[in-house]
Amino acid sequence: MNPRRSVLYMPGANERALEKAKTLDADGLILDLEDAVAPDAKEAARERVCAAASSKEYGSREVTIRVNGLDTEWHDADLRAAAQAGPAAIVVPKVNSAAEVHNIERALELGGAPDHTKIWAMVETPVAMLHAEEIAAASERLTVLVMGTNDLAKELHAEFVPGRAPLLGGLSLALLAARATGKAILDGVYNDVKDLEGFEAECVQGRQFGFDGKTLIHPAQLEPCNRIFAPSEEEITRSRKIIAAFEEAQAAGQGVVTVDGRMIENLHVENARRILALAEAIGG
């Protein structure tokens, strides 16, 4: 299991930022060739990012490259270069259909991408929300959906409000698609880097919804994000207790198991094992 509590966007044109990323406590990094790079800096950023991704200097962090969108003049060259660099994944913005996933997969294969280089599809339009399941199911190489909440809000003509009520329909559709197809899913960014209280509240909401983690735009967001998306000591202790009680009851041939007065079923045991696996992956 790869923990993906915190996945931080890093501007591909900024050499100092790419160097600093080697020291940050992020589970994953998205080395960005899209929004963070001006048009006249795209080619230089591509070379810099691909060199960074292939350097093996980022430790256990999951290093990915975000290419420019499918409808841009830089997309094909980005994909070819990223395929050769062989990052953990290639993040593709504004994926709207299964056919687009198939095209991306074919391009990676033609570009010589190693098997470990996966596809992370950004879903950030109404069309993507309505076709999220077919996007997620389009390829085994696609392993993660990434919410693009800024673009989704723009497309919906929605306002940014605490609790994100205007976006909940889209968030729920994408989450359902990810879980139905066995893929991971990351929540979108929080724009106000100075509002850590609001950021923490949105992390809590994202975890309660079922997101695996959150994409971030500033290192100051790392600590609260890692903390909130990690199992608490209380959850770990309870999970161990549930598994032990269930296994003891099975060995004794008992059909009913209770822990602290609550009936325990297979679904509770599966969830407990997932929590412990995540805790071990984070600790390891």
Q: Compute the CA torsion angle 238, 143, 41, 36 (nearest 10 deg).
A: -40
- The 10 Å Cβ neighbour count of residue 201 is 15
Question: With b meaning 16 or more CB within 10 Å and e meaning fewer, what string describes 55-77?
Answer: eeebeebbbbbbbbbbebebbeb
| Contacts with 102 (C-beta within 8 Å, 6 or more apart), sequence order | 138, 139
Q: Compute the CA torsion angle 90, 96, 102, 108 (nearest 10 deg).
A: -20
Closest-CA residue to 236 (of 282, 276, 281)? 276
Q: Binding residue per annotation — 274?
A: no
For residues 151 and 129, what is the distance between their CA atoms, to the nearest angstrom?
12
The residue type at 216:
L
For residues 163 and 208, what is the distance between their CA atoms, to the nearest angstrom?
12
Q: Binding residue per annotation — 124?
A: yes
Place of tokens 């994909």: 79
Q: Binding residue per annotation — 151?
A: yes
| Contacts with 2 (C-beta within 8 Å, 6 or more apart), sequence order | 27, 28, 62, 184, 281
CA distances from 256 to 61, 65, 181 (A): 42, 49, 31
**Known binding positions for substrate:** 66, 124
**Known binding positions for Mg(2+):** 124, 151
**Known binding positions:** 66, 124, 151
